[in-house]
Amino acid sequence: MQLIVLFGIALGLAMDAFAVAIGVAVGLGGASRRQTLRLAWHFGLFQALMPVIGWAAGTSVRPLIESWDHWLAFALLTVVGGRMIVDAARDGGPAGLGADPTRGWSLVGLSVATSIDALAVGLSFAALGVEVWLPALVIGVTAAIMTVLGTVGGRHLGLRFGSRMAAVGGVVLIAIGCWIVVEHLA
């Protein structure tokens, strides 16, 4: 596989992580360095592992995944985004958020939601006979870098516009979920 193609795939897969990182950081009113590191580590890790899992599963599982992967991503992003909106309305924004989306099951849900497409890419690698180890590493590192860039951008938006941005962050996550569904159905 040519390096330029690999970087294009990695960048394309990292766009969901980038957009979600912006939404989370905006929703938090600015993500701390620790929150940024958690997001980058988990998004990068999941983006690296999913192609390996997809590659190992091979082409026999591909039809099953393609029929529902977009709905799973939509559901995960909608639940986390909806919680951010409800918490912002109830408690006045990030300071009152009961759950940090960069921790626990919210973080796992976001990590899975942003990396499901990488699973399908891993299946494609298996079908094409491409070794997965270098692409998985490049995909994971690219996702981690794009996540850091997204949280930095979101941090500036959150700090500039204050705590009411938590609802905006939730709407962004739900919009990304909708975009994933529309993209897969088109």
Could you tell me which of 121, 109, 104, 106 has the C-alpha nearest to residue 50?
121
Q: What's the domain count of the chain?
A: 1
pLDDT in tens, 34-51: 999 999 999 999 999 999
pLDDT in tens, 140-176: 999 999 999 999 988 777 666 655 566 776 787 688 7
pLDDT in tens, 128-145: 778 899 999 999 999 999
Full residue range of the structural domain in which residue 71 is found: 3-185
d(CA 111, CA 128): 26
Tokens of 87: 């918490």
